[in-house]
Structure 1
Amino acid sequence: MRRAHVRGPGAQGVGKDRELAHSSVPAAEDTTSGTARDGERVPRQRRQGDGGGRRGRGDGPRRAGGRRRHRILRWSAAVLAVVIVGTAGAGYLYYRHLNDNLRKDDLNIGDKKDRAAAPRANAAGQTPLNILLIGSDARDSKENQKLGGAKDTYGTAPRADVQMLLHVSADRTNMSVVSMPRDTLLAIPECTDPDTGRTYAASTSAMTNASLERGGPGCTVATWEKLTDIHIDHFVMVDFAGVVSMADAVGGVPVCVDAAIYSHTSSGHGSGLKLRKGTTSVQGKQALQWLRTRYGFEDGSDIARTKAQHMYMNSMVRQLRANATLSNPGKLRALAETATEALTVDDGLGSVAKLYDLSKELKKVPTERITMTTMPWVYSSDGNRVLPRPTDAAKLFRLVREDIALDGKDKKKTATPTAAPEPAHSDDRIAVQVQNGTRTSTLAPVGGRASAIAALLVGKGFDKATADSSTLPVRDETVIRYADAALEGDARRVAKVLGIPAGQVKRSTDVDGVTLVVGADWRSGTKYTSADSDDTTPKSAGALNGADTKACMHVDPDYTW
């Protein structure tokens, strides 16, 4: 496959384990059978119940001489580390050559109506920065085969088995990372491959990692925007070679386990990771094993693996920012070669200069203001997949969307209300259709809810409020939609009377007139309580601070030695 093509250096195999040996990338699973690509069944007995390079390469700018040339060439110690954890280093690199290494792909290839609006600038003219980090499970080269095994999947379309949304605040004082479990079932929008022109139909329920095989990383971006309503500025897709080289370049990354661990089963599964209790500096093959370990960490789930990846990334950024050995020109050059060969980016990041500019922005964030989280989730009905956790997932996405720090250290922001247009009609002439969207991933819809709220509106003077007898798919948040600009004032008037925030009033081509969708956040009662009043990060997100040096992975007693 063109997008998954890897030109990085070779790597040694990691034994018989067929779990995907991708840097922080778990093995992909079939979205219908419930089995992994490598033939493993998703473990159910020990679970936490809650909880080629496409379109061308950059030609590069014209060569410049002397001091100016060197100033331009000086950039990140490791491009991969820059885009993941905001670390900038030093080194003189071959600018044009490195530009040629970078692969580029389209940013968003989904349906235009599903795209999230760009955030408004703050009073200082600054805007947040959202970057989607994607880890591909491509097995299209000898190097990938050595590390990933699963020869029967050679040459198949890659999947996005690691997805992390990196959000940098508008004022660059804090950074939030939200990981999505690879097994998440969600809606994937219609995507059109810009190379072949093939259009992939929208899916109402598919595993999130399948988005990558529907036209490329631009479809994964479109899927995130549809789910979260967060505008994504860039994406970076990586393979395993960059992470392994980074671990070697920094002389190892410290990781901790609370007991001796050996990730290995009698049937040959497991990453092969073998560590003593306490803190060990891992690099190369051992670092890769840490990132792909599932058997042996906590409940053996992908959620636990994500937690281990967060610990590694936090430790790596601390190590990079404190490690003076990265000034070695030879190491830097080799690292830059590997890192740029391992990256696929959107056109907006399609040169070393643009990546350097990005690194300068990321570097402004102090380590103690980096917060790693996982999308709150619940198990699906069959226990083999996960779904966004009602209310908590929507809340986490809102905090990111509204640029609210997940570490709780932001000063309370007082929003300046925007002037609402005057209603076009009096209350008794505003036609409001009420729909029941109270279904959740685990609960049936509340019967008669649309009728109850329609009656509430009639009692408040909205005589033309009516109930729609149908029930909708999962809707975490109550929203009011209006068909065209002339009805915005009417929709805002309904929201004001019910106490629904203006941010939940949205224009939509999917409705006629004004439509109130009663969501899972208003399953009972006549008074709507907005989640906007609570800006704390949900505990179910498992927040981990970047400066936490005491974090340690819990080892399953069945995998100790």
Structure 2
Amino acid sequence: MTGTRGKRGSGRMRIPAVVLVSLLALLTAGVGWVYLKLNGNISTFDAGGLSDDRPGAGAAGQNVLVIGSDSRSGGNSGLGGGEGDVGRSDTALLLHVYGDRKHAVGVSIPRDTLVDIPPCRRPDGTWTAPRTRAMFNSAFSVGESAKGNPACTQNTVEKLTGLRVDHTVVVDFEGFSAMTSAVGGVPVCVPKDVYAGDLNPNLGARGDLLFRKGKQSVSGQKALDYVRVRHGIGDGSDIGRIRRQQAFVAGMIKKVRSQGLNPTTLLPLADAATKSMTVDPGLGTADKLISFAMSLKNIDLHDIKFITVPWRYAGDRVDIVQPDADALWASLKADRTIDGQDATEKGREPGGGTGGAAGGAAQADAAAPVTGDGTRISVANGTTVTGLAARAAAALQERGFTVTGTSTAPDRDQATTVITFGPGQAGRARALTRMFPGAYVRGDAADGISVTLGRDYATTSAASPAPVAEPSAAASGTPSPETKEQARSADDDPCADLSYG
């Protein structure tokens, strides 16, 4: 068994998230027989395996989890990768599309990251026990089914990040190969000659030449080999491979954009993508995919970023670095870009002015104490902890807020605190996350601000009844300088910064 796993590990698929690019094709394909054809291509997974204890909605943007699968079923069997009948995944990218629909960031999660995996449903309907410090990619294999377990991976990402995953997309070998061919190849940069033995060290010999040194275009099987290879390029690490995958996705996006959004180019791409995608029911029809694609079409190449979750080696595994990772998740919750811009839907007003959470007198200085200045706020207790609303009200009044009332929420089993705000109150609402770390912030038609307390506040306030005013990096949602520095834009040089170390 050990030998089999070693062989599989050397050939596992690392599929980049090019499926997201292919969704742009659907913009031109929403009518007639083409629509029906695409609709018939799409497969969905059972959402019954999603957790009942999910994070609340974020500030404004959308989160889409993209998983690369090395399934051997169907036309995938001749394309390499894992062996046997169990679907596996070694690539996961969480794409955050900001509320202004002018920015997006893809966050890669290394396959060997040690994470907590919550209970997950098996194909027979039973549920697993939670696991701690398990390898991230093992979540997809729970239940050992040929199609994998995307719901379990989604549950794991939500637990890891505290972000609600709005949609999940799985793409397999065959689809990846067909998509790269449909666009006529993707430009890549190879720093040295690469041989078959670099792709599969178990070969026991150098083998045939796969890639000559230099810039070149790859498609089909060659594209698969490029994104899978690790040992023959750069520093030989999986982190380095992730960087090359991010560069590949960037190159794919740039290639599609350069060809123009026309049916000749995009319809074959859409057909290839939808044939090989498995999606959650929320994206299970062509019109739903079209709607999502519409949210991507106006994003400039420079404003599409790729980063890797802050990490460090833990032996031959990877640990998440804190508080850097929490600061990244907080910035996504608040719809702030990695360089600190407010990217909510109302973050930019006509004429170049800045509104919403970043604008005017409502702008919150992350280093300043939270002050209410008479702002009216209501507080509801969404837990069974007696007196929690009164405790929060007292803390708010100490900082100058006018508490209009306390109450008990209809749902008393809320895991996460939710802050809702009305017109003109976005800045104040987001500043409140420094008193209620990890809270979800969203707009509401009603006037003023309301806070519905979750179990997270019950825990933190018990330790410190009066929350401190000075924020941590995680609470303020400001990604670390290291996170910003390693970001790649979709318009970057494909030869630049391809390896870690």
Q: Which amino acid aligns with 1:364?
A: N
The Cα of 1:98 is off from its aligned counterpart by 2.7
Is the 1:392–1:538 Cα contact (8 Å) retained in structure 2?
A: no
- Cα separation, partners in 2 of 1:211 and 1:492, compared to 1, 3 Å: farther
Match of 2:293 among 347, 351, 359: 359
2:102 corresponds in structure 1 to 173
Q: Which amino acid aligns with 1:353?
A: D
1:240-259 CA distance string (max 9 Å, x none):
22222222122211112344
The alignment partner of 1:201 has SS state of coil
Match of 2:317 among 385, 390, 403: 385
Is the 2:434–2:471 Cα contact (8 Å) retained in structure 1?
A: no
- Cα separation, partners in 2 of 1:482 and 1:420, compared to 1, 3 Å: farther
The Cα of 1:293 is off from its aligned counterpart by 1.4
Match of 1:197 among 108, 125, 139: 125
Match of 1:279 among 215, 224, 233: 215
Aligned residue pair count: 411
The Cα of 1:529 is off from its aligned counterpart by 4.2
Q: Which amino acid aligns with 1:288?
A: L
The Cα of 1:489 is off from its aligned counterpart by 3.9
The Cα of 1:145 is off from its aligned counterpart by 3.3
Give runs of aligned pairs for residues 311-390 of structure 1, distance below 5 A: 311-324=247-260, 327-328=263-264, 334-380=268-314, 383-390=315-322
- Cα separation, partners in 2 of 1:334 and 1:316, compared to 1, 3 Å: closer
Q: Which amino acid aligns with 1:145?
A: S
Match of 1:155 among 85, 97, 101: 85
For residues 224 and 346 of structure 1, the distance between their equivalents in structure 2, rounded to whole angstroms, comes to 15
Is the 1:482–1:491 Cα contact (8 Å) retained in structure 2?
A: no
Q: Which runs of 5+ in 2 are unaligned?
A: 1-6, 144-148, 343-353, 364-371, 400-431, 440-452
For residues 218 and 349 of structure 1, the distance between their equivalents in structure 2, rounded to whole angstroms, comes to 14
Is the 2:234–2:499 Cα contact (8 Å) retained in structure 1?
A: yes
Are residue 292 (structure 1) and residue 283 (structure 2) matched? Answer: no
TM value normalised by structure 2: 0.71
- Cα separation, partners in 2 of 1:517 and 1:549, compared to 1, 3 Å: farther
For residues 436 and 68 of structure 2, the distance between their equivalents in structure 1, rounded to whole angstroms, comes to 33
For residues 258 and 55 of structure 2, the distance between their equivalents in structure 1, rounded to whole angstroms, comes to 38
1:136 corresponds in structure 2 to 69
Q: Which amino acid aligns with 1:268?
A: L
1:358-409 CA distance string (max 9 Å, x none):
11111121111101011111122xx121111121111111111111112445
Is the 1:192–1:200 Cα contact (8 Å) retained in structure 2?
A: yes
For residues 377 and 23 of structure 1, the distance between their equivalents in structure 2, rounded to whole angstroms, comes to 19
For residues 393 and 463 of structure 2, the distance between their equivalents in structure 1, rounded to whole angstroms, comes to 11
1:496-545 CA distance string (max 9 Å, x none):
98998123175218968942389xxx9xxx99542145734541472101
Identity percentage over the alignment? 32
For residues 370 and 509 of structure 1, the distance between their equivalents in structure 2, rounded to whole angstroms, comes to 32
- Cα separation, partners in 2 of 1:490 and 1:205, compared to 1, 3 Å: same
The Cα of 1:188 is off from its aligned counterpart by 0.8
1:182 corresponds in structure 2 to 111
The Cα of 1:277 is off from its aligned counterpart by 3.5
For residues 423 and 252 of structure 1, the distance between their equivalents in structure 2, rounded to whole angstroms, comes to 55
1:249 corresponds in structure 2 to 182
1:1-60 CA distance string (max 9 Å, x none):
xxxxxxxxxxxxxxx99733535279xxxxxxxxxxxxxxxxxxxxxxxxxxxxxxxxxx
Is the 1:255–1:552 Cα contact (8 Å) retained in structure 2?
A: no
Which range moved further: 166-175 or 531-540? 531-540
2:482 corresponds in structure 1 to 539
Q: Which amino acid aligns with 2:37?
A: H
The alignment partner of 2:102 has SS state of coil
The alignment partner of 1:312 has SS state of helix
The alignment partner of 2:76 has SS state of helix
Match of 1:488 among 377, 389, 403: 389
Q: Which amino acid aligns with 1:530?
A: S
Q: Which runs of 5+ in 1 are unaligned?
A: 1-15, 27-77, 121-126, 425-480, 557-561
Is the 1:103–1:343 Cα contact (8 Å) retained in structure 2?
A: yes
The Cα of 1:302 is off from its aligned counterpart by 1.2
2:139 corresponds in structure 1 to 211
For residues 355 and 301 of structure 1, the distance between their equivalents in structure 2, rounded to whole angstroms, comes to 35
For residues 175 and 272 of structure 1, the distance between their equivalents in structure 2, rounded to whole angstroms, comes to 39
For residues 477 and 456 of structure 2, the distance between their equivalents in structure 1, rounded to whole angstroms, comes to 31
For residues 169 and 547 of structure 1, the distance between their equivalents in structure 2, rounded to whole angstroms, comes to 19
The Cα of 1:175 is off from its aligned counterpart by 0.3
1:549 corresponds in structure 2 to 493
For residues 230 and 500 of structure 1, the distance between their equivalents in structure 2, rounded to whole angstroms, comes to 15
TM value normalised by structure 1: 0.64
The Cα of 1:419 is off from its aligned counterpart by 4.7
Is the 1:130–1:233 Cα contact (8 Å) retained in structure 2?
A: yes
The Cα of 1:301 is off from its aligned counterpart by 1.5
For residues 295 and 496 of structure 1, the distance between their equivalents in structure 2, rounded to whole angstroms, comes to 59
Give runs of aligned pairs for residues 67-146 of structure 1, distance below 5 A: 81-83=21-23, 90=28, 94-107=34-47, 109-113=49-53, 115-120=54-59, 127-141=60-74, 143-146=75-78
- Cα separation, partners in 2 of 1:223 and 1:332, compared to 1, 3 Å: same
Aligned CA RMSD, in angstroms, stands at 3.8
For residues 159 and 185 of structure 1, the distance between their equivalents in structure 2, rounded to whole angstroms, comes to 17
Q: Which amino acid aligns with 1:117?
A: G
- Cα separation, partners in 2 of 1:422 and 1:140, compared to 1, 3 Å: closer
For residues 291 and 170 of structure 1, the distance between their equivalents in structure 2, rounded to whole angstroms, comes to 31
For residues 149 and 554 of structure 1, the distance between their equivalents in structure 2, rounded to whole angstroms, comes to 23
Are residue 232 (structure 1) and residue 232 (structure 2) matched? Answer: no
For residues 512 and 334 of structure 1, the distance between their equivalents in structure 2, rounded to whole angstroms, comes to 52
1:437 corresponds in structure 2 to none
The Cα of 1:217 is off from its aligned counterpart by 1.0
1:308-366 CA distance string (max 9 Å, x none):
110010111111011159643xx765544432220101111111111111111111211
Q: Which amino acid aligns with 2:159?
A: K
Q: Which amino acid aligns with 1:255?
A: V
The Cα of 1:108 is off from its aligned counterpart by 6.7
Is the 1:189–1:202 Cα contact (8 Å) retained in structure 2?
A: yes
Are residue 395 (structure 1) and residue 327 (structure 2) matched? Answer: yes
- Cα separation, partners in 2 of 1:134 and 1:502, compared to 1, 3 Å: same
The alignment partner of 1:94 has SS state of helix
The alignment partner of 2:49 has SS state of coil
Which range moved further: 100-109 or 488-497? 488-497
Is the 1:482–1:514 Cα contact (8 Å) retained in structure 2?
A: no
1:92-129 CA distance string (max 9 Å, x none):
7533333222111134734423x110124xxxxxx311
Are residue 507 (structure 1) and residue 454 (structure 2) matched? Answer: yes
2:358 corresponds in structure 1 to 413
